[in-house]
């Protein structure tokens, strides 16, 4: 374990975690992995590879599985969700169940009270802990970096590698400081912070780097808000996003089912407190955002960097000198059927989705419920909790009734409309306001047009049937 007295120079959070996990250091470093999360979509080929090579899972005790991506969020009268699944989804789910049984891996499956989106259940169970290296065959694994962990997505071949060896070949990333200063204004949330950052530096602005989110604003966010920000780090090209562990982190983890207990908890906290970046440590890149200057954000194009403040106007491709960027913007506006130079306010929409690994936690649902209370939805609206635990908490608090009384659909946990592979999708040519993380062409269904936004902005759109500035509604929000 790293200790300050042994340091030759001040180190960043990233460097401290990296240095304690290096197994062999070469051009491609072999790094030890503390936690491997798997799901039904990117694991089948990896398990097939193990079987063909006659290999076992090296550390089944450090591997945990859930069913989320292809699992329908509808449930029938016999309490089954698979009756709504297509043959491919059923095959993926059955294969994961079989593989976990064969290789001795804990599965939070169809009947588990902990089933849910992989990046929601990891933290709420206490699997995610500061100082860990965490991988998953999913792009938004950076979510777990909110706890001071080095967490990133990997491909199917790498999933097999980690299953077999509990290690991974990696090139050491560079350090990128994101200084978030100031205090959020009314109606502005964590989702707006990360969309503003991505819009500022672009989809490749952090390629080869790991973000460390720092400053007054990040320190004053809850763990769930920090997870929202870290979740979308990949959308700016970053390998991961991290927040140094602090008392907010420890308070969240305390009493989580799989977090350390008793004397082990005290020892863990003592260790975790040594991970924050040392004073004087050097970052390779740095950017500062005054969050008090931000408005609610919304995307207008086909990647998350194509985002603007909700009162701003859609940029004109003719004003862009770079031919590549100009062409990309023209293509995006054509796909979205949006004219440059106009505001998005009052743009009619057809569907609203509140959910995903970005915004499906209890605090997200609580925010949205404030908007829905006493109102009726104007368009089809899906509200999908991130896990069975979140669903139960929401129902115990009566939040589900607010959504139901407003006319929204209260669904079972899963990835849902974030990715159109489970039956939840937007019709061709139709518009959705979504709290998910990607607005690529066809992401929510063939020909679907997606506006990414916060739960507050999505809720405002649901009850008005158009893109609406949440600050214009008479509602008590922070």
Q: What is the pLDDT of residues 75-116, one digit of tens each?
A: 998 889 999 999 999 999 999 999 999 999 999 999 999 999
Counting residues of the chain whose pLDDT is more than 70, the rounded percentage is 98
CB atoms inside a 10 Å sphere around CB 271: 17
Confidence of residue 67 (pLDDT cuts 50, 70, 90): very high
What's the predicted TM-score (pTM) here? 0.96
> Which two tokens mark 21?
């996990």
Query: In this structure, what is the dihedral angle of CA atoms 53, 57, 63, 68, given to the nearest 10 degrees?
Result: 40
Beta bridge partners of 240: 210
Domain ranges of the chain: 13-171, 174-246+278-293, 298-472
Tens digits of residue pLDDT in 126-135: 999 999 999 9
> Where does residue 315 rank: exposed (0-12), middle (13-18), buried (19+ CB within 10 A)?
middle
The H helix count followed by the E strand count for the chain is: 15, 19
Whole-number pLDDT of residue 474: 84
The answer to whether domain 13-171 and domain 298-472 are alike in fold is yes
Is residue 388 predicted with pLDDT exceeding 50? yes
Tens digits of residue pLDDT in 201-220: 999 999 999 999 999 999 99
Tens digits of residue pLDDT in 8-46: 799 999 999 999 999 998 888 999 999 999 999 999 999
Whole-number pLDDT of residue 477: 67
Is residue 360 predicted with pLDDT exceeding 50? yes
Whole-number pLDDT of residue 444: 97
Q: Which CATH architecture has domain 174-246+278-293?
A: 3-Layer(aba) Sandwich (3.40)
Average pLDDT (459-472) is 98
Query: What is the domain class of 13-171 according to CATH?
Result: alpha beta
Whole-number pLDDT of residue 26: 82
Average pLDDT (317-342) is 95
> Which two tokens mark 138?
């999913």
CATH number of 298-472: 3.30.499.10
Tens digits of residue pLDDT in 271-309: 999 999 999 999 999 999 999 999 999 999 999 999 999
């Amino acid at each position: 374990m790293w200790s300050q007295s042994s340091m030759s120079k001040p180190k960043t959070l990233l460097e401290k975690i990296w240095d304690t996990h290096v197994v062999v250091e070469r051009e491609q470093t072999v790094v030890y992995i503390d936690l491997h999360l798997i799901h039904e979509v990117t694991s089948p080929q990896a398990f097939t590879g193990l079987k063909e090579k006659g290999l076992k899972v090296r550390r089944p005790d450090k591997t945990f599985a859930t069913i989320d991506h292809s699992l329908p969020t509808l449930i029938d009268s016999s309490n089954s969700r698979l009756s709504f699944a297509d043959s491919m989804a059923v095959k993926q789910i059955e294969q994961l169940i079989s593989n976990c049984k064969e290789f001795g891996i804990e599965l939070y499956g169809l009947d588990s009270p902990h089933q849910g989106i992989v990046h929601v259940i990891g933290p709420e169970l206490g699997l995610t802990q500061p100082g860990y290296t965490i991988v998953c065959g999913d792009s938004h694994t950076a979510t777990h970096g909110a706890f001071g962990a080095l967490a990133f997505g990997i491909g199917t071949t790498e999933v097999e590698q980690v299953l077999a060896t509990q290690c991974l070949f990696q090139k050491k990333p560079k350090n990128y400081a994101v200084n978030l200063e100031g205090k959020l204004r009314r109606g502005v949330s964590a989702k707006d912070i990360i969309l503003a950052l991505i819009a500022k530096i672009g989809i490749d602005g952090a390629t080869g780097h790991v973000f460390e989110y720092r400053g007054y604003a990040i320190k004053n966010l809850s763990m769930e808000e920090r997870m929202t920000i870290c979740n979308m780090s990949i959308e700016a090209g970053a390998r991961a996003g991290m927040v140094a562990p602090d008392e907010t982190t420890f308070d969240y983890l305390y009493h989580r089912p799989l977090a350390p207990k008793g004397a082990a908890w005290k020892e863990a906290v003592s260790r975790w407190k040594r991970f924050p970046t040392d004073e004087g440590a050097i970052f390779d890149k740095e950017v500062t955002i005054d969050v008090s200057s931000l408005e609610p954000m919304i995307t207008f194009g086909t990647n998350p960097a194509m985002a603007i403040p909700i009162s701003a106007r859609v940029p004109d491709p003719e004003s862009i000198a770079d031919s590549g960027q100009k062409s990309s913007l023209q293509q995006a506006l054509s796909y979205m059927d949006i004219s440059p130079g106009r505001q998005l306010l009052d743009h009619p929409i057809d569907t609203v989705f509140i959910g995903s690994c970005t915004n499906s936690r209890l605090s997200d649902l609580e925010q949205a419920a404030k908007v829905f209370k006493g109102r009726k939805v104007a368009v089809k609206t899906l509200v999908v909790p991130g896990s069975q635990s979140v669903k139960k908490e929401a129902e115990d608090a009566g939040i589900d009734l607010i959504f139901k009384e407003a006319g929204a659909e209260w669904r079972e946990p899963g990835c849902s409309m974030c990715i159109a592979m489970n039956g939840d999708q937007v019709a061709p040519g139709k518009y959705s306001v979504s709290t998910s993380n990607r607005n690529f062409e066809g992401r929510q269904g063939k020909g679907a047009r997606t506006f990414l936004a916060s739960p507050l902005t999505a809720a405002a759109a649901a009850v008005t049937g158009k893109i609406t500035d949440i600050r214009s509604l008479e509602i008590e929000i922070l």
